[in-house]
Structure 1
Amino acid sequence: MTKARGREELLARRRAQSPAERAESAHAIAMHALAVPLVGRARRVACYLSMDSEPGTGPLIAALHERGVEVVVPISLPDHSLDWVVHEPAAPVVVTGLGIPEPEGPRLGADALRTCSVVIVPALAVDHAGHRLGRGAGYYDRALADVTVPLCALVFAHELLPEVPHEPHDVPVQMAVTPSGLFRVPS
């Protein structure tokens, strides 16, 4: 499978899911993610506001807020890098031209990730070695290049694969959460 072909197939399968299936998956992912001690006991977590077809992050972010966990979310910059803002549930959200929801708020800078217990990242698929297939723009690979805190991808169960195509610059994750449970990458 090439990256382009894999993205095409995975995105088509995501679009075929009903809103009810996606909502059920989002709640299951939240329960499994919160059961991970690293996430459940965190003081600050980096996450993302999910797009409609992605595994939903809404229930997870809401539960983290209920526990008093500060959540930082990404803002895309014109140079194809990411900045971070503290997520405030009532803050206005703008959907970018790429369909990515981004809230307003003071920017924290790239170093904000170093203050997090875990960084939760989007992915189209994750393989058994932790290689993550993203959408191809490289925003997260650039943002995560020097990050040493654990990385966790959220994917649907069928997106946990034996192998995905990857390049040397692709930053691997240490775990993936699906609606079926947690997968830890063997070390």
Structure 2
Amino acid sequence: MKKKAQIRKKMKLALKTFDFSDRQRQTQAIIDQFLISDIYQQAQTIAIFMPMSFEFDVTRLLNDTSKRIVIPKTLPQRKMIFTDYDEDALFLTPFGVRESKSDFAVIPDLIIVPGLAWTEDGYRVGYGGGYYDRYLADFTGQTASFVYDFQILPTIERNKFDIPVRHIFKV
């Protein structure tokens, strides 16, 4: 099994050099697949991460007026909450991620979980902060990830804190 640090480095490079037209094709196909899924149809409040330039582009979902959209906000001690998405109430964190100025926590019923690599059974390599795994430890709703074809790996090193996502959307 590859160590997570090696996977992070390899996947960040692969994402940053991913062919633009292939990225667009896969992104559209995956989001189209998600929008017709039962978990999307049944969700009322969807948590969506704010993507960095090289991450999966979920911005199409941020404008979904049929659902309540919430975004992550990091707190001290590597904790995280979700707050209502309001384009006019965002600030840029020192990590280069846009977050809400609000501290009003909202519990979603579906979380789109970011990451860098996944196994077919939903285990993932994230960015190493553990924010999502900590949140997901007590979360009872649905979870999903959007995964480009090269991000699926046969195995990933796991620890007792790793929480798999329940649904993988891929091409």
Structure 2: distance between partners of 1:29 and 1:102: 25
**Contact 1:91–1:104 at 8 Å: present in 2 too?**
no
Which whole-Å deviations, capped at 9, do the CAs of 1:48-81 have from their partners, x for residues lacking one? 111111111101222x32xx20011101113211
- The Cα of 1:36 is off from its aligned counterpart by 1.1
Name the CA shift for 1:80/1:165 in 2 (closer, same or farther; >3 Å): same
Aligned-partner SS, 1:122 = coil
Percent identity reads 25
Give aligned pairs, total.
170
Name the CA shift for 1:60/1:25 in 2 (closer, same or farther; >3 Å): farther
Structure 1: distance between partners of 2:79 and 2:142: 20
Structure 1: distance between partners of 2:61 and 2:32: 8
Structure 2: distance between partners of 1:45 and 1:143: 15
Describe how 1:23-38 pairs up with structure 2 within 5 A: 23-38=24-39
Match of 2:94 among 90, 93, 97: 97
Q: Hey, what does 2:137 align to over in structure 1?
A: 145
Aligned-partner SS, 1:153 = strand
Q: Is there any run of 5+ residues in structure 1 with no aligned partner, and where?
A: 181-187
Q: Hey, what does 2:85 align to over in structure 1?
A: 87
Q: Is there any run of 5+ residues in structure 2 with no aligned partner, and where?
A: none
Task: Give the TM-score taking structure 1 as reference length.
Answer: 0.82
Aligned-partner SS, 1:130 = coil
- The Cα of 1:129 is off from its aligned counterpart by 2.1
Q: Hey, what does 1:185 align to over in structure 2?
A: none
Task: Give the TM-score taking structure 2 as reference length.
Answer: 0.90
- The Cα of 1:19 is off from its aligned counterpart by 4.9
**Are residue 9 (structure 1) and residue 10 (structure 2) matched?**
yes
Name the CA shift for 1:95/1:19 in 2 (closer, same or farther; >3 Å): farther
Runs of 4+ in 1 over 4 A off after TM superposition: 18-21
Q: Hey, what does 1:127 align to over in structure 2?
A: 119
**Contact 1:25–1:56 at 8 Å: present in 2 too?**
no
